[in-house]
Structure 1
């Protein structure tokens, strides 16, 4: 299909243990969507049965096969109206007798395919096996369709698998209290996918689902969003309709798939579970500062003077981590010839590095700053970590190059974490690296407590978050950028971003220190202005072991067996 078409989210509240009644009502809602012209219709997670079951015996009466009676009934509607329907349901595998939290896709010609939820939440673990078929993509008249379910979106690998496997549209049945749907705008923009999310809006047992079903474009734009519901009975079944334009299936995020550096992501496949003796086990108090300023491109002396001035005048004495922008004292020098960077480049014991060592000693703080590194015959866009004692203790060489540094820089190939005694584990990425979620995933595997991102961002990626603020205890601050928030949440690691300002290069500022979850109110995300030079400071404590999700829980529930398409050129698992 080349012309735009309508997609619909059916925001539906099934009754527990009432499968037949639920299916009758759900069919009515699906028909209503089809009669309003929708070509793709998505229903919530477990839409035919309700969600809370104590064990296999409790749900055994209500499971169905895929294909089976349920898919047959919806296939009749799909054939009658010429539409595609995604049904969230509990599935039994007849060969094994195992149950799965699943979704099924049917179309005008009948049953097409299924998905089995890979990353499960607590409740369904009592009766459902974890999914075992990867993240299939199904080719249809309206585009290539993939499905993931609810808790899956907490893991950056899930939507990335759909994108890497070739999907155009990601269908997302969910029963969400906000956590899973809060990541959908990030994953749409980062992966170049239309996302069609269908949620419930009522309370079942002690769990309140908040509605806010939504449709997102591959650019991260909100096409449609239902209201947030805090009503225990729900706001009643609803229908959300938005337009999908197949012309947008090819987009900048899809183009970036060709820039993925899979050899650098191999550690994403590791499962460093409960016996990881390298991880930090203590929460640390961090007072971090991000330095934001307007650079004089190519003028080391002027930029170094400004950095010193900002640190002397505005960095408080007890700040223990300072992050500077990408290529901190030269700015993003644009040159078409590799040799032209030579006069700006230096070794990791060059004059600028020595000056930064002095600053670290004077302030008694760790410093992360970026520079053009010379290791002949190569030059690298690098960042180094300096200890309060004035020693270089960590280094990152930018892996994914921009159009301005690809002419002179050799790409790095390592994603490293620096363990610092009594402080925590510090990861670094530079600018454009953050666009590739695999980098944050490796940093999670390596148990980064903090991620520092020197950048020179002028809006070339990322989008300001625009989910309904009512879904959060504390709304996102104005200026929150999807890319960096995704790093913090995807790795469950506090993320410090330092950027430039200035009209000449149209730098966008918004240096920031990102929290791990906007509903965790003890810490907060803080964002600098888009235009003003400043030192942004924030306090936080690492390792949120008292929260519903922390890095340890994330690590223990990653499903590495299905992530192979992210790091190899082998065919997808399915």
Structure 2
């Protein structure tokens, strides 16, 4: 497929599980009406971002993939609308818990699960209390005629993650996110850095990047939105600010990106023989 239409959702997610899933479902349907083939909701959209605090009672909200209400709702919707939905959720696998993503195909099937590789730990983002580091490795899927890679939030800061997915054949990179203010520093706004990091992945790998974030106040944090769709040059095709809710929908030319990727020579001129240091934890 030369062209593919993608969408990023941005909305507040501080209501009940049922209300949040309904709100996301409404935006998914709206994006599908606008022609989107692959639709990206934000990270952990079933509820408020619970990792702001450490509370063992919240482990009860984790469920196996096939039982999770977010996954079940998006699988049903994907089948009805004929769209693919990378779906973030809190996964329980036996005694273990992960920040995971189910790749749901247009026929409503779960193609596989990616477990977040990089787990942050800091004020307002105490994810190491809840999540084990992912054990799936990076993942790419053939979806709607394209090969896509998906990282989850903190993964988006790591060029190694994006490059690994590109080397696995990804043509598009998707990043569902929950990020906003830093409770320890009210003057620190990372939204510009956040965007630039992912736009850098687009440039360095010469492929489009789609990022979806939440908005609104939750406790002492305000989530800053700034969801976007960038092309293979890292240019912003569409983007939201800090308070807008809705869907961003753009049609991307994958053949054009492929030609540019070959022409730039980034993969031709790689020197893996010099990169051993990257895999050393010293």
Task: Kindly indicate whether residue 205 of structure 2 is the aligned counterpart of residue 491 of structure 1.
Answer: yes
Q: Which residue of 1 aligns with 2:66?
A: 349
Residue 416 (str. 1) matches residue 139 (str. 2): yes
Secondary structure, in 3 states, of the residue corresponding to 2:178?
coil
Is 1:441 the equivalent of 2:158? no
- Aligned residue number for residue 333 of structure 1: 50
> Of residues 289, 301, 304 in structure 1, which corresponds to 2:7?
289
- Structure-2 change in CA distance of 1:412 and 1:518 (3 Å): closer
User: Aligned partners of 1:286, 1:551: CA distance in 2, in Å?
Assistant: 21
- 2:196 equivalent to 1:482: yes
TM-score (norm 1): 0.44
The structure having more radius of gyration, on CA atoms, is: 1
Which deviates more, 396-405 or 305-314? 305-314
Which whole-Å deviations, capped at 9, do the CAs of 1:208-251 have from their partners, x for residues lacking one? xxxxxxxxxxxxxxxxxxxxxxxxxxxxxxxxxxxxxxxxxxxx
Match of 1:399 among 117, 121, 138: 117
Q: 1:525 deviation in Å?
A: 2.3
- C-alpha contact (below 8 Å) 1:492/1:551 kept by paired residues: no
Q: For residue 538 of structure 1, what is the aligned residue in structure 2?
A: 250
Q: Aligned in 2, Cα 1:394/1:561: closer, same or farther, shift over 3 Å?
A: same
Deviation sequence 1:375-403 (CA, Å, 0-9, x none): 02101001111001000113211111123
Secondary structure of the equivalent of 1:406?
Answer: helix
- Rounded Cα–Cα distance in structure 2 between residues aligned with 1:287 and 1:314: 10
The Cα of 1:518 is off from its aligned counterpart by: 5.2
| 8 A contact 1:327–1:371 mirrored in 2 | yes
**Partner residue in 2 for 1:303:** 20
In the alignment, is the contact (CA less than 8 A) between 1:463 and 1:483 conserved in 2? no
Equivalence map 1:52-201=2 (5 Å): none
> 2 CA distance for matches of 1:500 and 1:360?
21
- Report the Cα offset of residue 552 of structure 1: 8.2
Alpha-carbon displacement from aligned partner over 1:519-540 (angstroms, at most 9, x marks no partner): 7xxxx62111211111111111
1:464-488 Cα shifts (integer Å, max 9, x gaps): 37xxxxxxxxxxxxxx821211122
- Contact preservation (8 Å) 2:229, 2:239: yes
SS of match in other structure, 2:79:
helix
Tell me the residue number matched to 1:426: 148
Q: What is the 5 A alignment of 1:314-325? A: 315-325=32-42
Q: CA deviation at 1:545?
A: 4.0
Q: Please name the residue that 1:58 is paired with.
A: none
SS at match of 2:18: helix
Q: What residue number does 1:555 align with?
A: 267
Alpha-carbon distance, 1:360 to partner:
0.5
Higher helix share: 2
Consecutive unaligned residues in structure 1, runs of 5 or more: 1-282, 466-479
2:222 corresponds to: 506
- Displacement of 1:463 after TM fit? 5.3
> Per-residue displacement from partner, 1:148-203 (whole Å, max 9, x unpaired)?
xxxxxxxxxxxxxxxxxxxxxxxxxxxxxxxxxxxxxxxxxxxxxxxxxxxxxxxx
| Cα gap change, 1:308 to 1:545, in 2 (>3 Å) | closer
* Contact in 1 for aligned 2:191/2:224 (Cα 8 Å): no
Q: In the aligned structure 1, how far is the partner of 2:147 from the partner of 2:258?
A: 16
User: Where do residues 460-475 of structure 1 align in structure 2 (5 Å cutoff)?
Assistant: 462=190, 464=192
CA contact (8 A) 1:287 1:537 kept: yes
**How many Å separate the matches in 2 of 1:441 and 1:516?**
14
Aligned equivalents of 2:39 and 2:264: distance in 1? 26
1:541 Cα deviation (Å)? Answer: 1.1
RMSD: 2.3
The CA distance in 2 between the partners of 1:552 and 1:360, in whole Å, is 36
Distance, in Å, in 2 between the alignment partners of 1:562 and 1:463 is: 33
Shift of 1:551: 8.2
Distance in structure 2 (CA, Å) of the matches to 1:487 and 1:518: 8
